[in-house]
A and B are shown apart, each in its own frame.
Chain A
Amino acid sequence: MLPDTNPIYGESPRCDLHADLHEIVAKYSGEKTNLLQMLIEINACAGYIPKDAAIYIAATLDIPLARIESVASFYSLLHLQPVGEYRVLFSDNITDRMLGNLDLMEQMCRQLWLQPGKVSEDGLLSINTTSCTGMCDQGPALLVNGYAITKLSSQRVQEIGQLIRNRTPVAEWPADYFNVEDNIRRGGLILDNTLAYGEVLQAAKAITPETIISTIKDSNLRGRGGAGFPTGIKWEACRNAEGDAHYVVCNADEGEPGTFKDRVLLTTQADLVFEGMTLCARAVGAKKGFLYLRGEYRYLLGHLQGVLQRRRNSELLGESIMGEQGFDFDIEIHLGAGAYICGEESALIESLEGKRGVPRNRPPFPVTHGYLQQPTALDNVETFCQAVMALHMGAEAYRAIGTEKSSGSKLISVSGDCAYPGIYEYPFGVTVRQVLEDCGAVNIQAVQISGPSGICIGEHEFNRKLGFEDLPTAGAFMVFDDSRDLFEVARNFVHFFAHESCGFCTPCRVGTSMLKQTMDKIAAGHGTKHDLAEIENLDHVLQTTSHCGLGRTACNPVLHTLKHFRPAYESRLKSLDFEPAFDLDGALARARQMTGRDDAGAHLKESE
């Protein structure tokens, strides 16, 4: 989808920031909770957040200037220094790697005479990698000034380089670059629904909020974001919690590498999502809702705003919904800006409040102390869709789908080594083998279920079933055939976690970074048994002492591959017990260069 032409989101040539600053602050009513949204708009407008803009915002909002830097520097898509008129970010999930993203990035760097991570001297552009952008079924992908381009090929990269060199505004680039496919390969309960928008909401008018909650409870619906908490219990707890206001939040911060089903739901089922949120609002007694959309999906913003407006026009949102006095509810969309941790519910709420997305201490949980410390029902995009279907069908009919402990359907994002990557909807209980068969995967070595924080399973486990009783999943399903190196898969995931650690707690901040260094050491051929022991020690500390799920699961990719695919590690190890993490002879290179020496004494052997 092409970048919209709204001046605030306008691309090159950059807009006049000074004229727009007042407009930006006014648009967000000067509320401190909207600080992040303002910074995102300034960043979109100027390409970064200039110091004078930061000073203006701090003064206008009456907040310390340091808070602007504090917040902005937390999000990888925001910048406090110029990063070029064109900011090119190659998605760096393992699936992008498998499709050759690094070669393409190198090609573009060569073409434009640039090193990754550096801004060109003329300030024209910078090129870097970024965490998975959710285009795994149509990669390799990149973001240019925040907008997604898919299906990169050598030729397309060449063309993009040319467009940048010619300073062609992104809005004038060929539209097909920005085409994002839905790739729905198998529909079901959600994807094949034939509901008219507002239909279920209309029907729910006749029932009480308590009945909505009891139906959801009876339907056995569990959250689809990964944790699998029973949705009805959450809604009930939120309704029963005392507060000045209640809130509904939809978590559309789909950051787990390999997951892209929420993108497809937001594209094709936005009404269902908003209908689910509105039903939830009725159930919990909320007047305001938020959809927190990951920054990488910013291209969906215009579409989603359009759907919201249409629903307002149809009295499905706003005051007196469907003419019912007192049923007031509206939804605001907040953007993220490149922080995986904001998928964690309490971090997301911090971010919604305009702060750094650091997970809170729990308890208390968001159902009692969420947005602005008020009761908040926070659910995944897919969960809201499932809730609509459960209410539409009735608890019993809904429960009949899936398995005993996992009712309903599940959307699976399939990517990696298969003929038909894309979205597959199955009733819970489908085997891994069935999914592999349907997506045309052959000679498969392993499947990463539910992303890097999930688990990696080998062939002997392909009869396992997707569902809460066996293989719980948020939906990612990355397929690796027998040509793939699972050590490199794990290393890519470890890099991801180190990049995305919020840095709040000691074990995750230091541990993920040390885990990354140790994996790199092994990759460089300097690994020994000692390093495997070090990995196991780090894993233990991360698992037992981390503040949130990110740290606790950061070692999963390594633990699972070490367990099932240990030779992938051992084949890289030296037979020695110990090796330095760095190249000793290389550490003398500077001194050799400075002294002009190259005699035997000016070198160190790997061992002696």
Chain B
Amino acid sequence: MTEKKKLRIATTSLAGCFGCHMSILDIDERLFPLLDLVEFDRSPITDIKHCGPCDIGIVEGGICNAENVHVLREFRKNCKVLIAIGACAINGGLPAQRNHLDLSACLTEVYLTEPGLVHGHIPNDPELPLPLDKVHPLHEVVKVDYFIPGCPPSGDAIWKFLTDLISGKTPELGHGLIHYD
């Protein structure tokens, strides 16, 4: 039997805190057997800057600015299966707590009228991505195939989910591993 081709995985964090990526590292020593099955494309783990054709894309964080949209689209275009990981990617999470507020009011408050600010101005460097008026979960911007809930999901949950997926089963977390918090 020839050796099975390794699955290619890309990961990124958008409007998130990298907590989900920390949880990926919490897979701990099981990362070694995992690496027998997969190889990493674009990911904070590899420092590859752009995503090539992949089997699985794992995206942490919601969509709060224009750059998030570009990166998410790159992932969707290149990954056969796209997974939203963590509360922010799934429902906007903490960044989405600004959704009740008007963006102009937020920017004004933060950069212009906050007590203690002098000569404040709203950053307008073209290098900076512009914020969207609302924060969106991933599935409102592209089609998402799977969701791993949690804030962050535990290493065990991620391990269970990925091993199910890699072995061709519909991933199930079950009691103890499924968490929204």
Distance in angstroms from B162 CB to nearest chain A CB is: 24
Give the contacts of B91-128 with A (CB-CB under 8 A): 102-104, 107-108, 122-124, 126-127
Q: Produce 1/0 per residue, B35-73, CB < 8 A to A.
A: 000000000000000000000000000000010011001
A593 touches B130 (CB 8 A): no
Q: Is B31 an interface residue, CB under 8 A from the partner?
A: no
Partner of A591, one of B69, B73, B108, B133: B133
Give the contacts of A572-608 with B (CB-CB under 8 A): 577-578, 580-582, 584, 587-597, 599, 601-604, 607-608
A587 touches B133 (CB 8 A): yes
Q: Is B132 an interface residue, CB under 8 A from the partner?
A: yes
A591 touches B70 (CB 8 A): no
A594 touches B140 (CB 8 A): no
Once bound together, how far apart are the Cα atoms of A608 and B74, in whole Å?
Answer: 9
A591 touches B140 (CB 8 A): no
Q: Is A51 an interface residue, CB under 8 A from the partner?
A: no
Q: Is A27 an interface residue, CB under 8 A from the partner?
A: no
Once bound together, how far apart are the Cα atoms of A198 and B69, in whole Å?
Answer: 74
Once bound together, how far apart are the Cα atoms of A586 and B123, in whole Å?
Answer: 20
Interface centre among B124, B130, B142 (most CB of A within 10 A): B130
Once bound together, how far apart are the Cα atoms of A577 and B145, in whole Å?
Answer: 13
A residues in contact with B69, CB < 8 Å: 584, 604
| Contact-size category for B | 20 to 34
Q: Is A205 an interface residue, CB under 8 A from the partner?
A: no
Query: Which residue of A has the minimal Cβ distance to B140?
Result: A580
Q: A584-B141, A608-B73 are contacts. A591–B132 as well, Cβ < 8 Å?
A: yes
Once bound together, how far apart are the Cα atoms of A608 and B142, in whole Å?
Answer: 12
A residues in contact with B107, CB < 8 Å: 591, 594
A residues in contact with B134, CB < 8 Å: 587
Distance in angstroms from B123 CB to nearest chain A CB is: 7
Q: A588-B66, A594-B107, A608-B73 are contacts. A601–B130 as well, Cβ < 8 Å?
A: yes
Q: A604-B66, A608-B70 are contacts. A597–B126 as well, Cβ < 8 Å?
A: yes
Once bound together, how far apart are the Cα atoms of A593 and B132, in whole Å?
Answer: 12
B residues in contact with A599, CB < 8 Å: 126
Distance in angstroms from B151 CB to nearest chain A CB is: 24
Q: A588-B132, A601-B126, A604-B69 are contacts. A594–B143 as well, Cβ < 8 Å?
A: no
Q: A591-B131, A595-B122 are contacts. A602–B73 as well, Cβ < 8 Å?
A: no
Q: Is A67 an interface residue, CB under 8 A from the partner?
A: no
Distance in angstroms from A585 CB to nearest chain B CB is: 9
Once bound together, how far apart are the Cα atoms of A580 and B68, in whole Å?
Answer: 14
A597 touches B130 (CB 8 A): yes
B126 touches A587 (CB 8 A): no
Nearest 5 interchain pairs by C-beta: A595-B124, A578-B143, A591-B130, A587-B132, A590-B103
Q: List 28 A-B contacts (CB under 8 A).
A: A578-B142, A580-B140, A582-B136, A582-B140, A584-B132, A584-B141, A587-B132, A587-B134, A588-B130, A588-B132, A588-B133, A590-B102, A590-B104, A591-B107, A591-B132, A591-B133, A593-B104, A594-B103, A594-B104, A594-B107, A596-B124, A601-B127, A602-B126, A602-B130, A603-B66, A604-B66, A604-B69, A607-B73
